[in-house]
A and B are shown apart, each in its own frame.
Chain A
Amino acid sequence: MSDGHLDLVLRVLDHQIVGPRRELVGKVDDLELSWTADAFVVTGLVVGPGGLSQRLPGRLGAWVGAVWRRLSTGSEPQPVVVPTTQVTDLGSPVELTEAAVEALQRSFGLERWLRRYVVGRIPGAKGGDHDEALDSGDGPATPTMSRADLTEPPVRPPAPGAQWLSALLGAPVLDEDGHRLGDLIELHTGIGNERWTLTHLQVTHSPLGTELGYHADPHQGPALLRRAFRHLQRHDVLVPVGEITEIRTEPARVVVTRSGARRHPHHDATAPRPG
């Protein structure tokens, strides 16, 4: 993982996850955020229907969640979180270590069920690149010893007390006087020493099209869309994470200090962007 600046919503959330051999192993369905003693950091990627179901509206989300629980083994299924230490590369896809990929593949209830009871029973399901480990329908059932020795497992249940990014997105950001600065749409992160530390909150008055990237690159074309989104996002401001005094979920709310030099993201001089 190289060090640098990262816009979490634009560059990580909802991106494809791949393995070292370009296997496709899901989407970044949510991000797990935790407060440590000195910083607000990203601790993991939430992968799978357990995470996705909470971002889908109403009954649909409940339905996706119910199917996921039904197909999970164990009495109390927990959403799967991949620690950020397992991320080996961030490009258009998010690349994970071999161990994390294997652990994720074991967590896919629907894939394993279909493999065992539907697709595996049709003649010709095995191709030239067939791996005997798949014959049981899921691959190795328990991690090998060398992996069990690792200090941190390749995937884990959600950390207690952690917040999920999607629960904060769209939350109103207020200052201490109750004056509303706008809605939270993006979290800016600095990556260094294998740690993803949140640096700024981006706050807007018009949440339309925030995942499109026009706030990150002031020169992104085509000109017409650039102008339209620039106009919509002209009052966006960056609030340093140090100015947060309170973060609440249900209902989500972020309170920040009143003072502070806030600037538009396009005038971001301290954080050089890739590209």
Chain B
Amino acid sequence: MKKFFAIALGILTAIGGFVDIGDLVANGLVGARFGMSLAWVVLVGIVGICVFAEMSGRVAAVSGRATFDLIRERLGPRVGLLNLAASMAVTLLTYTAEIGGVALALELATSVNPYLWIPVVGAAVWLVLWRVRFSVLENAFGLAGLALIVFAVALWQLGPDWSALWESASRPSLPDGESRAVYFYYAIALFGAAMTPYEVFFFSSGGVEEGWTAKDLGTMRANVFIGFPLGGLLSLAIAATAAVTFFPQSIEVDTLGQLGLPVGLALGKLGIAFLLLGFFAATFGAACETGLSVGYSIAQYFGWQWGKFVEPLRAARFHTVVLLSTIVGVGVLLTTVDPIMLTEYSIVFSAVALPLTYFPILVVANDRTYMGDHANGRLANTLGTIYLFIVGVAAVAAIPLMVLTRAGQ
């Protein structure tokens, strides 16, 4: 019974923790502008993150090595450092966007200017990373993030024409006035949001933090194969509410408040309360995950002691990196850059960095010297190879499409 609750808790936190500011913004924006015609990308992204999160989690459980350990080990110090620089630039950008997202959520709740909130949020995130136990951090924000289910409830309350929604999702077509380049630019943004590299950095390092062994593979797989797809359904629900409310009127979504409007329309005050809790938990939780990921990855490259399973004094370099990245994130936001725009850039650059992360994972998950019987089977390898190709195409196409469409204008 205890084990059942442990698994259920893991799944619930995986659902609640799946959505972050990138998913919120990308799905709302795309739903309003393209209806459900890009829903297939979300599905492709979810299968992809499941494939690679399972691989990285399996390697972490069996060998005790998190993702950046493997990158250094298999790519050497030079290519590894190049990879570290690129991945950390993207993760730091995402961290900054998440802190901005928390401030925007608090602005919605309080009407206090977000620039007053940003330093407070930065300090709060750092305090959580400094003192709060790993399991508490993961469970609390994951569970609170489940409040985003209001999007699914709101969608049902809005009473959309389900067959039309299904029609536009299953037979994707280009909406009037949109070019093919813009369509594929947003496809890459959605894909990048679903497969952000920090998710595997955090997932594998979290496995090491919690001391997974080969015995925990079942729990890990339940989290990945049940939790992530259900989290992905939440993303689709967000896109669908925007598609139902804004798409027919050709209204573009560019604030977090607009994104929540359908929930307010359908469910009133109570819905808004849940929505604000969900926004806050999802972005705050993701801020913690990205902040830790920066520290994890740099420490793993150099071999430093890292993790919240030791007292901060024993991992001084790791905690200094976390502190510095928080200061950088807050500093960038205080230049009055728009956090929503920052989010859009972070998910597109995520797509560029994807192959750097996923290639070494695929290779090591095949190393039978470490992995023994837990090495990749035929299915994991087939899917892994296909996805390596897909992320390769997305990575190459991302920047040219960004230039060509002037970032989706």
Residues of A bordering B, CB below 8 Å: 11, 14-17, 22-27, 29, 52, 55-57, 60, 91-93, 110-111, 114-115, 118-120, 122, 124-130, 134, 211-213, 216-217, 219-225, 273-275
Contacts and interface: CB of A to CB of B under 8 A. Distances in A.
A252 B375 CA distance: 38
A225 B355 CA distance: 14
B81 interface: yes
Interface of B: 63-65, 69, 72-78, 80-81, 130-131, 299-300, 302-306, 310-314, 316-317, 319-320, 323, 362-363, 366-370, 372, 375-376, 381-382, 384-385
A24 B305 contact: yes
B314 to A, nearest CB: 7
A222 B65 CA distance: 20
A134 B77 contact: no
A128 B376 CA distance: 39
B311 A114 contact: no
B65 to A, nearest CB: 5
A15 B320 CA distance: 23
Contacts of A130: 311, 313
Given A26-B304, A27-B302, A211 B73 contact: yes
Contacts of A60: 81
B76 A16 contact: no
Contacts of B362: 222, 225
A224 B73 contact: no
B356 to A, nearest CB: 14
Contact of A93 (B64, B131, B375, B385): B64
Chain B interface mostly helix, strand, loop or mixed? helix
Could you say which of B77, B78, B305 has the most chain A C-beta atoms within 10 Å of its C-beta? B77
A275 B312 contact: no
A129 B381 contact: no
**Across the A-B interface, the 9 shortest Cβ-Cβ residue pairs:** A127-B311, A27-B303, A222-B381, A114-B316, A92-B63, A26-B303, A119-B316, A115-B316, A275-B369
Nearest to B383: A222
Contact of B316 (A27, A111, A129, A273): A111
Nearest to B299: A24
Contact of A124 (B130, B299, B300): B130
B78 A14 contact: no
A119 B78 contact: no
Given A134-B314, A217-B367, A221-B376, A111 B77 contact: no
A244 B366 CA distance: 34
Nearest to B311: A127
A124 B320 contact: no
Nearest to A51: B77
Contacts of A115: 313, 316
A119 B312 contact: yes
Nearest to B82: A57
A213 B360 CA distance: 11
Contacts of A274: 369
Contacts of A23: 305
A213 B311 contact: no
Given A118-B323, A224-B385, 5 more contacts: A52-B302, A114-B316, A118-B316, A119-B312, A221-B366
Contacts of B313: 115, 119-120, 125-127, 130, 134
Given A16-B303, A24-B306, A130-B311, A222 B73 contact: no
B78 A55 contact: yes
A217 B369 CA distance: 9
A122 B180 CA distance: 53
A55 B77 contact: yes
Contacts of A129: 310-311
B316 A120 contact: yes
A111 B312 contact: no
Contacts of B73: 14-16, 211
A225 B74 CA distance: 14
26 contacts: A14-B72, A15-B73, A16-B65, A26-B303, A27-B302, A56-B81, A93-B64, A110-B317, A111-B316, A114-B317, A119-B319, A122-B312, A124-B130, A125-B313, A126-B311, A127-B311, A129-B310, A134-B313, A217-B368, A220-B368, A221-B375, A221-B376, A222-B381, A225-B363, A274-B369, A275-B369
A25 B376 CA distance: 29
A275 B368 CA distance: 6
Nearest to A127: B311
B76 A211 contact: yes
A170 to B, nearest CB: 11
